[in-house]
Amino acid sequence: MGNNLVWFRNDLRVSDNYSLTKATEGDKVIGVYFFDPRHYEVTPFGFRKTEKFRAKFLLETVATLKKNLEKLNITLLVYHAKPEEVIPKLSVEHNIDTIYLQREWTSEEAEVLAGVKAKLEPNTVLTESYDQFLFHPEEIPFDTFEQIPNIFTHFRKKCEKVAQVRKVLPKPSPKNGENRIQNLTEFPSLFDLGFEDFETDPRSAFPFKGGEDEAMARLEHYFWESKKLAYYKKTRNGLVGTDYSSKFSPWLANGSVSARIIYSKVKRFEREVMKNQDTYWLIFELIWRDYFKYISLKYGNRIFKIGGILEKKYSWDADKQLLEDWINGNTAEPFVNANMRELQLTGWMSNRGRQNVASYWAKELQQDWRIGAAYFESLLIDYDVHSNWGNWMYNSGVGNDPRDRKFNIKLQAERYDPKGKFQNLWLQQTLF
């Protein structure tokens, strides 16, 4: 029982949230979220860690979380500050017994947590949980993370054979409103985070807003209203429009929706509408997402090193002019240019585009792949540390691709944009 604090990070939802579910068993529950100033600073690679697209999406997401917690009579305190400067004081002020949070393990998150722990009262309990997986670490058929295979197919087949997906947790029941605390905190604005407001580019393939409610509306549309799930594998390499792929990744990345919820909806669709290779393929992609998380659990900070998890020694360059041309879509490849301009103007790029521009940057231009990964981290609405750095390693020959492929950009353009519709959309000179 007691007084509990939920420290929200990348689990910004009230449904199927283990930390929130456990915390609501207590007498009093408070939520807290931090717009950590460090997340909006310029990194050593020269890009803001978080650009305006994800910042706006995050503001919308946290506003929805606050509203949905209010329905449960739970206050969400929101700070534009460092967690280690606020949580210890909050803990004392509200006599917190237990702090619940989703476990994160990459270096920056670990450092912040260590900073919080160092200042907490000795009797305050910290309860972390792995809540971002499809296959929970306790369910996978590997005794240690070191046993995770370095080839995805081996991981997938073993997990599909043995691992169970845990049931979705129901939304908690409302707490007694008498225990709610007064909320004197204020949301930062986009301007406070260092940006001017902006309108979404009308050409964007991701014109959606942040938050759990929007995530559930997208699920409803993609599965039940349009039934596009039934064609997912056939269309997922598309480039133009909102429905060629599920577009769930931004909500998954910040935890507005869980992989388990999506999985349960796919299974329902398979029971009630149809089951085919397309419906399975969405689960296949969720397993890929899990896999990159397990790879970062296995290798730790090696996913950020220039040699990657393979510790390969390539001759990488860091040419500023090539970087400028790549970022601004002024390379020798129109297909690369179109994708890079889409990213620059919307914070979104298709899966097909990401693989091509990454391969071009690392394999064709032979530039330091980490610069590309850091640029993606800055711009992408759906940035996820494990998937981003895992995919960049994969495409750069220092990760989990056993074939070490290099994309033929011209052939890719002919195959996936045969009439040039996508390239024409983003390369119209009147726009620049």
Name 78's bridge partners: 33
pLDDT tens by residue, 69-78: 999 999 999 9
The residues, ordered by sequence, that sit 6+ positions from 388 with a Cβ below 8 Å of its Cβ are: 373, 376, 377, 380
Percent of the chain topping pLDDT 70: 99
pLDDT digits over 288-313, tens only?
A: 999 999 999 999 999 999 999 999 99
- Cα atoms in the 13 Å half-sphere on the side-chain side of 233: 11
How high is the mean pLDDT of the chain? 96
Average pLDDT score over residue span 329-348: 98
Model pLDDT, residue 429: 58
> pLDDT at position 432, please?
40
| 358 pLDDT tier (thresholds 50, 70, 90) | very high
Give the residue among 172, 118, 251, 170 at the shortest CA–CA distance from 4. Answer: 172
CATH 3.20.20.80 fits 305-431, yes or no: no
In the chain, which residues fall in CATH 1.25.40.80?
A: 132-167+210-304
Q: Where in the chain do CATH 3.40.50.620 domains reside?
A: 1-131
Into which CATH architecture does domain 1-131 fall? 3-Layer(aba) Sandwich (3.40)
| pLDDT, position 166 | 98
Rounded mean pLDDT of 206-221? 98
Q: Rounded to an integer, what distance in angstroms lies between the CA atom of residue 33 and that of residue 59?
A: 11
Contact 251, 257 (CB under 8 A): yes
Q: Does domain 132-167+210-304 have CATH number 1.25.40.80?
A: yes
